[in-house]
Amino acid sequence: MKVFHTVSGLRDDLNKERQQGLRVGFVPTMGNLHDGHLALIKQARQSNDVVVCSIFVNALQFGLNEDWDKYPRTYQNDCDKLRAAGCDYLFHPDDIEMYPNGLDTQSRVICPTMTDVLCGASRPGHFEGVTTVVSKLFNIVQPDEAIFGIKDYQQLAVIRRMVQDLCMPVLISSAPIHRETDGLAMSSRNRYITAEERPLVTVLKDSLEWMAGEIQSGSRDFSGLEEAAKARIIAAGFKIDYVTACNSKTLDLAAHDDMEITVLGAMFTDAARLIDNLSITL
Ligand code: AMP
């Protein structure tokens, strides 16, 4: 695996790959890689000749009170995992390389409306940071295909929308949620969960599964289902951010005649904010 820390270095090499007609697949990450990330690399490997991964903990997508400075950085370990997973290129820039003019004057990419709800409501500016860095990374890597995890459902929907709105020449593919054996969605932030909380946090997934089951069985009392799911999560000792049934594509609140619905939830443990989701077709 070749490692580059500069835009120009990576570009020079990838240009040569493209000139040979090779297809480039790309997986953007913030590092601290787990099996969920590596499944994305393996998926990219299947449909591309060259696989590029980026590791960049993007300050632009973290709020002032969020965990940018303590976000786990495990570079050497990540490199070993990427090599074993068959990654060809790692792009690992520093903040200056990505934002040479500083964050305040950085040009931004904004995807309105869809980013105001769900995670966007409780993390103002988060998705603007995501769409901006992903646009930059797409311009740097110029991939044929980029793979994102369904785990971050709203992020995937926003990126699909951005690519469509801005006519970006990249295929966006999704990868299923990778879970621990008890069903907890894998996440770099799971390390913030305490030993006491750990057996209880699957309540988020269980509550979303219950909601999805009720909707599959014909219930359309979305707000009633949301309240019941929230009550279950609160009873397990966690604080709610949101639990909602949405139109899978637009992320608008689910309507009675929607055929594709995604239930999404976010809850707070003492030190972590956990998200999960489940999509159903009626
Ligand atoms: P992150 O480094 O957490 O920003 O994630 C990088 C990519 O990995 C994003 O596309 C995430 O959606 C994806 N990802 C993170 N966790 C999982 C998981 N448990 N299953 C599948 N994809 C994931």
pLDDT tens-digit readout, 152-172: 999 999 999 999 999 999 999
The reply to whether ligand 1 has any atom less than 6 angstroms from the CB of 151 is yes
The reply to whether ligand 1 has any atom less than 6 angstroms from the CB of 175 is yes
The reply to whether ligand 1 has any atom less than 6 angstroms from the CB of 36 is yes
Q: Which two tokens stand for residue 44?
A: 């990219």
Q: What is the whole-number distance in angstroms between the Cα of residue 152 and the centre of ligand 1?
A: 7
Domain membership flag for residue 182: no
Which of 125, 154, 175 corresponds to the end of one domain? Answer: 175
Domain membership flag for residue 237: yes
Q: What is the pLDDT of residue 109?
A: 98
Catalytic residue among 5, 37, 92, 178: 37
The sign one gets for the Cα dihedral 254, 256, 258, 259 is: positive
Q: What is the pLDDT of residue 130?
A: 98
Same domain, 171 and 58: yes
Which residue from 210, 197, 205 is spatially nearest to 238, judged by alpha carbons? 197
Q: What is the pLDDT of residue 235?
A: 98
Q: What is the pLDDT of residue 36?
A: 98
What is the pLDDT confidence band of residue 270, given thresholds at 50, 70 and 90?
very high
Number of domains the chain is built from: 2
Q: Which H or E run includes 91?
A: strand 89-91
Same domain, 106 and 32: yes
Same domain, 46 and 162: yes
Ligand 1 binding pocket mutation candidate from 147, 151, 274, 279 (most atoms within 8 A of CB): 151
How far apart, in whole angstroms, are the C-alpha atoms of residue 82 and residue 55? Answer: 11
- In DSSP terms, 53 is beta-bridged to 27, 90
Sequence-separated (6 or more) residues with CB below 8 Å from residue 143: 24, 25, 26, 52, 170
What is the pLDDT confidence band of residue 121, given thresholds at 50, 70 and 90?
very high
What is the pLDDT confidence band of residue 27, given thresholds at 50, 70 and 90?
very high
Q: Which H or E run includes 278?
A: strand 273-281
Give 247: exposed, middle or buried? Use CB within 10 Å, 0-12, 13-18, 19+.
Answer: middle
Q: What is the whole-number distance in angstroms between the Cα of residue 149 and the centre of ligand 1?
A: 5
Q: What is the whole-number distance in angstroms between the Cα of residue 36 and the centre of ligand 1?
A: 6
